[in-house]
Amino acid sequence: MRLRGKVALITGAGQGLGAEIARRYVREGARVFLADVNGELAATTAAQIADSARSEGSASEVFGDSGAPVEPIVLDVTSEPDWIAAIRTVREKAGRIDVLVNNAGINIRRDIEDMPVESFDAMYAVNVRGPFLGIKHVLPVMKVGGGGVILNMASICGLVGHKFTNEAYTTTKGAVTLLTKSIASRYAAANIRCNSVHPSTVDTPMLQTVLTDPEKRAERYGEIPLGRLASTDDVASAFVFLASDEASFINGVAFPVDGGLTAW
């Protein structure tokens, strides 16, 4: 178990990639606080992951029969009071935070010429303000605990301009990339590592609906040298590795999970 005994807070984890990261973290022995703006969704997903972990035996091995391998938290990442309350809850229940995963993000798919400024502000609030606030309030906790790991969900759009993606989204993910490097360089002395993960298009049921359009399917598959889309497991595996002690000397890295897209 690569994350045995670690305490992790994961945002936007009610579904999608966040839920898969939470699932993998629990399987690897972490105690996970699963945060989402939708409290009902967070509770349902947390219960499903906990049941699965107990049936596999991974939860009982680490936490015992009465242990709680994953717990839901309601968190609007754009709200500073919500962050303060969420981190207080984790500290009260687990005593520390070893890993923060800033996964929550949105994409309003409008080109810059048609993008209302309110939509840009909404994307910036979730995609940049959210990680900023989380990092701001978790750093003191990690310092007291002797260190920790901060992982930020970015995108290939935080590394390159992407002709299939709108400019506003790319702007937010570029900000996350340099926020990551700034934290990594300034807080390494406190034994706090910070890295960002940059997936290309991820194969999800929602995406497959979009890719019924032959032109869009050809676009997305054609840009990947490996000839396939990223899976949710591909992305979650990167988050497991970077949170583990195996990555103890990896800091400030923009970690692509893109099948070689950014190597063209």
User: pLDDT tens across 109-136, in order?
Assistant: 999 999 999 999 999 999 999 999 999 9
* Contacts with 60 (C-beta within 8 Å, 6 or more apart), sequence order: 54, 67
Active site residue 25: no
Rounded CA-CA distance 36/252 in Å is 26
Rounded CA-CA distance 174/170 in Å is 6
Query: Of the listed 124, 169, 187, 221, which one is catalytic?
Result: 169
Confidence at 253, pLDDT banded by 50, 70, 90: very high
4 burial (CB, 10 Å; 0-12 / 13-18 / 19+) is middle
Residue 73: CB atoms within 10 Å? 23
Residue 164: CB atoms within 10 Å? 10
What pLDDT was estimated at residue 83? 99
What pLDDT was estimated at residue 122? 98
Backbone angles phi, psi at 100, to 5 degrees: -115, 125
CB 14 within 8 A of CB 45: yes
Confidence at 264, pLDDT banded by 50, 70, 90: confident
Superfamily for 7-202+232-257? NAD(P)-binding Rossmann-like Domain (3.40.50.720)
